Structure 1
Amino acid sequence: MSSPPADPHLVERTTGREHLLRGDFLHVVRDTVALPDGGSATREYILHPGAVMVVPLLDDGRVVMERQYRHPVGRVMVEFPAGKLGAGEDRLACGRRELQEETGYVAGEWAHAGQLHPCIGYSDEFIDIWFARGLRPGGRQLDAGEFLDVIAVAPAQLQAWCREGVVTDAKTLTGALWLQNVLSGAWNLEWQPQSEPS
Structure 2
Amino acid sequence: MTEADGEDKLVRERKEARLSAYATLREQRPELFVNPPGTAYEILLDRADQDRVAREVGELAVAFGFPEECADIGVVYRDPYVTLVRDAVRFRSGRVNTYIRFVTGAPGGGAAVLPVLDDGRIVLLHHFRHADRDWHWEIPRGFGAPGEEGATTARRELLEEVGGEVTEMIRLGEITTDTGMHGGRDQLYLARLASSSFAGTPGPEAREEGIDAFRALSPDEMRAELAEGHIHDGFTLAAWSLATARGLLGPASGA
* Aligned match for 1:13, one of 42, 45, 49: 42
Q: How much is the aligned-residue C-alpha RMSD, in angstroms?
A: 2.5
| Equivalent position of 1:36 in the other structure | 92
CA shift, 1:76, in A, is 0.9
The normalised TM-score by structure 1 is 0.79
CA shift, 1:24, in A, is 4.5
* Aligned match for 1:147, one of 197, 210, 228: 210
Q: 1:152 to 1:123 in 2, by over 3 A?
A: same
| Equivalent position of 2:238 in the other structure | 174
8 A Cα contact 1:96 1:106, kept in partner: no
Which stretches in structure 2 are left out of the alignment for 5+ residues? 1-35, 46-72, 250-255
Amino acid at match of 1:176: W
Instruction: Work out the CA distance in 2 between the residues paired with 1:20 and 1:84.
Output: 20
Instruction: Work out the CA distance in 2 between the residues paired with 1:145 and 1:172.
Output: 21
Question: What is the percent sequence identity of the aligned residues?
Answer: 25
- Name whichever structure is richer in helix by fraction: 2
* Aligned match for 1:98, one of 133, 157, 171: 157
Larger-Rg structure: 2
Residues 61-103 of structure 1, C-alpha deviations (whole Å, 9 max, x = no match): 1012111011221211000111110111111111111111110
CA shift, 1:138, in A, is 6.8
8 A Cα contact 2:172 2:243, kept in partner: no
Amino acid at match of 2:76: L
Which protein, 1 or 2, shows the higher relative CO under an 8 Å CA cutoff with sep ≥ 6?
Answer: 1
* Aligned match for 2:189, one of 127, 130, 138: 130
| Equivalent position of 1:195 in the other structure | none
Q: Tell me if 1:62 matches 2:121.
A: yes
Amino acid at match of 1:153: L
* Aligned match for 2:167, one of 108, 112, 133: 108
8 A Cα contact 2:172 2:190, kept in partner: yes
Range moving further from structure 2, 156-165 or 78-87: 156-165
- Name whichever structure is richer in strand by fraction: 1
8 A Cα contact 1:59 1:133, kept in partner: yes
